[in-house]
Chain A
Amino acid sequence: MTAASPRKSRWTNGLFVGPYLLVYLALLLYPLLAGVWLSLHKADLFGGEAFVGIENFSRLLRDTVFLQAVRNTFLFVLLTVPPLAVIALGLAIALNRPTRAAAVFRGVFFSSSVLSVTIVTLIWRLVLIPDGGLIANLLHAVGQPPLPLLSHPNLVLPAIALTTVWWCLGLPMMLYLAALQQVPAELYEAAALDRAGPWKTLTRITLPSIRRTIVLVVIIQCVLQFQLFGQAQLLTQGGPNGASRPIVLFIYEVGFRRWDIGYAAAASEILFGLILVATILQYVTTRDKAASR
Chain B
Amino acid sequence: MRRLRAVALAAVALVLASCAKRDDVTQITVQRIFGECRSAGTGARNPDGECEIITGLLDQFQRENPDIRLKVNIAAWPGYDQLSAQFAAGDPPDLVTMHMSAISDYQSRGLIEPMGPGLESVGVDPAAFTRAAREGVTKNGQVWGLPFDNWAPLWHINLNQFRQAGLVKNGQPILPTSADDLLAQARQFRAATGKPYLVQAMANETASYTRNLYTWLMTQDAAFFPDPKHIKLTTPEAHRIVALFKQMYDENLTTKDQDYPAATSGFMNGDGGVYLVGTWMIGTFEAEAHTPGRPLSGGYAVVPYPRLFGTRDAAFVDGHAWVVPSRERTPAQRAAVYRLVKFLADHDYDWSRTGHLPAMQAVIDSPRFKALPHRQAIAPLATIGQTLPPQVQRQFAIQDIIGDEMASAITGRKPIDTALADAERRVNDLLFHLL
Q: Are A148 and B257 in contact (CB under 8 A)?
A: yes
By a CB distance below 8 angstroms, the chain A residues around B204 are 150-151, 235-237, 239-240
Count A interface residues, CB 8 Å: 31
Judge if A181 is at the interface, Cβ distance under 8 Å: no
By a CB distance below 8 angstroms, the chain A residues around B413 are 153, 241
Judge if B21 is at the interface, Cβ distance under 8 Å: no
Nearest residue (CB) in A for B84 is A256
The docked-state distance in angstroms from the alpha carbon of A258 to that of B112 is 18
Nearest residue (CB) in B for A42 is B435
Q: Are B404 and A257 in contact (CB under 8 A)?
A: no
By a CB distance below 8 angstroms, the chain A residues around B256 are 148, 151
Interface string of A253-273 (1 = CB under 8 A from B): 000111110010000000000
By a CB distance below 8 angstroms, the chain B residues around A16 are none
Judge if B154 is at the interface, Cβ distance under 8 Å: no
Interface string of B405-419 (1 = CB under 8 A from A): 101100101000000
Judge if B397 is at the interface, Cβ distance under 8 Å: yes
Known contacts A46-B87, A150-B204, A241-B405; A260 and B266 CB within 8 A of each other:
no
Partner of A240, one of B87, B411, B433: B411
Interface string of B245-284 (1 = CB under 8 A from A): 0000000000011110010011000000000000000000
Judge if A65 is at the interface, Cβ distance under 8 Å: yes
Q: Are B396 and A257 in contact (CB under 8 A)?
A: yes
Known contacts A131-B258, A150-B203, A257-B397; A240 and B88 CB within 8 A of each other:
no
Q: Are B257 and A46 in contact (CB under 8 A)?
A: no
Judge if A83 is at the interface, Cβ distance under 8 Å: no
Q: Are B435 and A48 in contact (CB under 8 A)?
A: yes
Inter-chain pairs besides A46-B111, A257-B84, A257-B396, 16 sampled, C-beta below 8 Å? A43-B435, A44-B435, A48-B435, A130-B258, A151-B203, A151-B204, A151-B256, A151-B259, A152-B257, A153-B413, A239-B205, A240-B407, A242-B404, A257-B80, A258-B430, A258-B433
The docked-state distance in angstroms from the alpha carbon of A242 to that of B426 is 13
Known contacts A46-B88, A46-B109, A260-B435; A132 and B408 CB within 8 A of each other:
no
Judge if A202 is at the interface, Cβ distance under 8 Å: no
List residues of A whose CB falls within 8 A of some B CB: 42-46, 48, 64-65, 129-132, 146, 148, 150-153, 235-237, 239-242, 256-260, 263
Q: Are B257 and A263 in contact (CB under 8 A)?
A: no
Judge if B81 is at the interface, Cβ distance under 8 Å: yes
Nearest residue (CB) in B for A147 is B257
Which label, helix, strand, loop or mixed, suits the secondary structure of the A interface? loop
Judge if B202 is at the interface, Cβ distance under 8 Å: yes
Interface string of B174-203 (1 = CB under 8 A from A): 000000000000000000000000000011
Q: Are A259 and B84 in contact (CB under 8 A)?
A: yes
Judge if B85 is at the interface, Cβ distance under 8 Å: yes
By a CB distance below 8 angstroms, the chain B residues around A48 are 435
Partner of A151, one of B202, B266, B430, B435: B202
- 8 closest residue pairs by CB, A with B: A151-B203, A148-B257, A131-B262, A241-B404, A44-B435, A241-B408, A151-B257, A46-B109
Nearest residue (CB) in A for B205 is A239
Q: Are B203 and A148 in contact (CB under 8 A)?
A: yes
Q: Find the residue from A130, A131, A237, A263 having the highest chain B CB count within 10 A.
A: A131
Q: Find the residue from B257, B259, B265, B407 having the highest chain A CB count within 10 A.
A: B257
Partner of B404, one of A45, A151, A235, A239: A239
Nearest residue (CB) in B for A236 is B204
The docked-state distance in angstroms from the alpha carbon of A240 to that of B109 is 32
The docked-state distance in angstroms from the alpha carbon of A157 to that of B206 is 19
The docked-state distance in angstroms from the alpha carbon of A259 to that of B81 is 10
Q: Are A257 and B81 in contact (CB under 8 A)?
A: yes
The docked-state distance in angstroms from the alpha carbon of A129 to that of B262 is 9
By a CB distance below 8 angstroms, the chain B residues around A130 are 257-258, 262
- 16 A-B pairs with C-beta separation under 8 A: A44-B435, A130-B257, A131-B266, A148-B203, A148-B256, A148-B257, A150-B203, A239-B204, A240-B204, A240-B404, A241-B408, A241-B413, A256-B84, A257-B81, A257-B397, A258-B433
Q: Are A240 and B397 in contact (CB under 8 A)?
A: no
A126 to chain B, nearest CB (A): 10
By a CB distance below 8 angstroms, the chain A residues around B426 are 65
B105 to chain A, nearest CB (A): 8
By a CB distance below 8 angstroms, the chain B residues around A260 are 433, 435
Nearest residue (CB) in A for B413 is A153
Interface string of B381-404 (1 = CB under 8 A from A): 000000000000010110000001
Interface string of B201-232 (1 = CB under 8 A from A): 01111100000000000000000000000000
B200 to chain A, nearest CB (A): 12
Nearest residue (CB) in A for B202 is A151
The docked-state distance in angstroms from the alpha carbon of A44 to that of B88 is 10
The docked-state distance in angstroms from the alpha carbon of A132 to that of B269 is 12
Of residues 96 through 113 on chain B, the ones whose CB sits less than 8 Å from some CB of chain A are: 109, 111
By a CB distance below 8 angstroms, the chain A residues around B85 are 256
The docked-state distance in angstroms from the alpha carbon of A45 to that of B105 is 12
By a CB distance below 8 angstroms, the chain B residues around A44 are 109, 435
B391 to chain A, nearest CB (A): 17
A159 to chain B, nearest CB (A): 12
B99 to chain A, nearest CB (A): 14
Q: Are A45 and B88 in contact (CB under 8 A)?
A: yes
The docked-state distance in angstroms from the alpha carbon of A258 to that of B394 is 7
